[in-house]
Amino acid sequence: MNNIGAGITIIGCGSAAPQNKLTNVHLSEIVETSDEWINSRTGMRTRHISNKTESLSQLAADAAQRAIADANLSPTDIDLIVLATSTPDDLFGSASKVQSLVGATRAVAFDLTAACSGFVFALITASQFIRTGVYQNVVVIGADILSRWVDWSDRTTCVLFGDGAGAIVCQASQNSDRLLAFEMHSDGSQNACLNLPYQSQSKSLVPGITTQYGTYKPVTMNGREVYRFAVAKVPEAIEKAMFRAGLVVEDIDWLLLHQANQRIMDAVAKRLKLPPEKILSNIAEHGNTSAASIPLALDAALKEGKVKAGDTIATAGFGAGLTWSAAIFQWG
């Protein structure tokens, strides 16, 4: 196609989550904690956990199929699939598998890894393919199964994470541009604050030559530093994006943040001088689902009738890397 200078509309949304729910009460049977302790510090009450037969690829495909149907498109209309995930089924990537499961036979697909910032990074990446006229219909998916990489004896992390997937459909438009502005940042000097590190062992091949093999260790996090980082950097990124969009706080209908912790979301809203009723949150139901959390919360808000066509949404992802990003868009 030749659609250079196209704008972006967001025309469909869908989500998927495993059936199994792990409650705070369940967690109190695993580690020394309580429903009151978890909820008061995080805002979480349950999280969905994948069983041994559920895959990241299928969760992502289910969310994508629902988003495509919501956009009144067919899978063969899709030109590109961008899968934001840190937990693929295959270390080489899961996007191509998702493309096959969806039936998007015309689409190219690739994975993007930016942890909890992944969905916003993927949305911004997808927008460049649309604006340069390369693709017309793009599916952006955020999906993670972090329960695979949780230390279930560590009460500081095991209470936080859940599994899920969410997706949106972005479409080229000559008449409007609904992605109004964005910001992206990275700071590798703080990488150690949130990790899922590889741990290797040496293996001798021949005299004088060794290689390494191993696996990944469970998630580790310095919660205090991550909180400080998020509360300082996220409002700043959103304010910069609003400035680029020519908007002020009063123009924002909804604040849609990565669902890491309710206290973080409340603190960001307070710094932006946004009332708490403008925060979109489903953290009580899903916990922290990493790259999936923003589209999961968006889909829930749409189904509840909160978000309506034309609403202006300030969204931000933040997490491992450390990375953070913000985008201002209008729904529909």
For residues 90, 91, 95, 97, the Cα torsion angle rounded to the nearest 10 degrees is: -20
Tell me the C-alpha distance between 75 and 248, whole Å. Answer: 38
Q: Which of 170, 193, 258, 261 is catalytic?
A: 258
Is 48 part of the annotated catalytic residue set? no
Is 185 part of the annotated catalytic residue set? no
Q: Which of 13, 24, 116, 261 is catalytic?
A: 116
Is 170 part of the annotated catalytic residue set? no
Tell me the C-alpha distance between 219 and 242, whole Å. Answer: 33
Catalytic residues: 116, 258, 288
